[in-house]
Amino acid sequence: MLTNLAQQPADALLALIKLHNADPRADKIDLGVGVYRTDTGATPVFAAIKAAEAKLLETQDSKAYLGPEGDMGFVHALMPYVFGAANPTMDGRIDGMQTPGGTGGVRLAVALAKKAGVQRIWMGTPSWPNHAQIFADLGLELKTFNHATKAGVVDMDALRAALAEAGPQDAVLLHGCCHNPTGIDYSHADWDEIAALIAARGVLPVLDLAYQGLGKGMEEDAYGVRRVLAAVPEALIAYSCDKNFGMYRDRVGAVYAMVADPAQLNAVLSNGHALARAAWSMPPDHGAAAVRLILEDAAMTKLWLDELDVMRARMNKVRAKLAEAGSAGAIDLKPLGGQNGLFSILPLTSEQILKLRTDHGIYMAGSGRINVAGLTMGNIDKFIADLATVSA
In the residue annotation, 208 being an active-site residue is answered as yes
Where is 255: in which H helix or E strand?
A: strand 252-258
Quote the radius of gyration of the chain (alpha carbons, Å). 21
Q: Which residues contact 341 (CB under 8 A, 6 or more apart)?
A: 177, 178, 179, 180, 183, 185, 211, 214, 215, 315
Q: C-alpha dihedral over 124, 241, 114, 207, to 10 degrees?
A: -40
Is residue 151 within 8 A of residue 184, CB to CB? The reply is no
Is residue 173 within 8 A of residue 208, CB to CB? The reply is yes
Catalytic residue among 122, 191, 242, 243: 243
Catalytic residue among 208, 221, 250, 386: 208
- What region does 213 belong to: left with phi over 0, alpha with psi -120 to 50, or beta? left
Collapsed DSSP state (helix, strand, coil) of residue 278: helix
In the residue annotation, 243 being an active-site residue is answered as yes
In the residue annotation, 122 being an active-site residue is answered as no
Catalytic residue list: 128, 208, 243
